Amino acid sequence: MENRELLVFAEELARGGGEILRRSYGGRQTIHFKGEINLVTDVDRESEAYILGRIRERFPEHGLLSEESPEHVSPSAYRWIVDPLDGTTNYAHGYPCFCVSVAVEHAGSVVAGAVYDPLLDESFTAAAGQGSFRNGARIAVSETADLRKSLLATGFAYDVKTSSDNNFDFFRAFVLTGQAIRRDGSAALDLCYLACGRFDGFWELKLKPWDTAAGLLVLHEAGGISTRLDGGPYDIHQPDLLASNGRIHEQMVTVLRKAKK
């Protein structure tokens, strides 16, 4: 199957899920809790039901991994990885930073991905080996080569109040070494913003595959790179991620190593 065909469908799904989010945005949300502060809304589930339903109709043999449902394991080489609402806490509070993320793997490698922000009507897309795009226009990472001049992004896990592995040491280190840090609450959008040059670097702990699958492909196809925090190899099943435009990556690894000590 052509990656391009998969990408067209992935973007269609992301836009469809995004339209569901946009329609209900700003209204009263029914909120459920998966943990003390880890929440899910009825709109998450509505977006997910639409996306997974469309995948099952068109590719009933494919595997499915989505944030709000048990994984559907399949013998097929294809698996879809879906976050029907990345930025749920933002959405529930009416903070306008959230998206839908849809990716598809073939034999364990992500081959197509789409991240859609329905409020800005920005669609970030990539197919393996074919470049990255924002609303159809090619994008690339920034040229910034000095960490001191870099705008960075990060996030904090839901257990930040109780876990010692809480990112505070790394956050403090980058506050002192970068130009500024943003924490917007959507890892998928952070990676796409890195891909189009709005950010220069990103790091986060305790991520899940649906947080990063589509955004990482967009980043890589735009010329960015990713590793674990210690500079070792990263894949979407690792919990900690360091991503950058490539030009400041080693500087970021150095800061992280010092902060960890």
Q: What is the reported pLDDT for 26? A: 75
Quote the CA–CA distance of 132 and 144 in Å, as a whole number: 19
Q: For residue range 96-137, what is the model confidence (pLDDT) as tens digits?
A: 999 999 999 999 999 999 999 999 999 999 999 999 999 999
Specify the CATH number for the domain of residue 18: 3.30.540.10
Last residue of a domain, one of 121, 138, 155: 138
Give the sign of the dihedral formed by CA 43, CA 106, CA 243, CA 170: positive
Specify the CATH number for the domain of residue 165: 3.40.190.80
Which pTM was predicted? 0.94
Classify burial at 104, counting beta carbons within 10 Å of its beta carbon; exposed 0-12, middle 13-18, buried 19 or more. buried
Last residue of a domain, one of 138, 173, 208: 138
Overall domain count for the chain: 2
The pLDDT of residue 154 is above 60: yes
Q: What is the reported pLDDT for 165? A: 73
How would you label 182-196 residue by residue, b for 16+ Cβ within 10 Å and e otherwise?
A: bebbbbbbbbbbbbb
Q: For residue range 54-85, what is the model confidence (pLDDT) as tens digits?
A: 999 999 999 999 988 999 999 999 999 999 99
Q: Which SS3 state, helix, strand or coil, does residue 99 take?
A: strand
Q: What average pLDDT does the structure give for the chain?
A: 92
> Domain limits at 110?
3-138
Q: For residue range 169-180, what is the model confidence (pLDDT) as tens digits?
A: 999 999 999 999
Q: Which SS3 state, helix, strand or coil, does residue 136 take?
A: coil
Q: Are residues 12 and 128 in the same domain?
A: yes
Strand order in the sheet with 180-182: 180-182, 151-154, 201-204, 241-244, 225-227
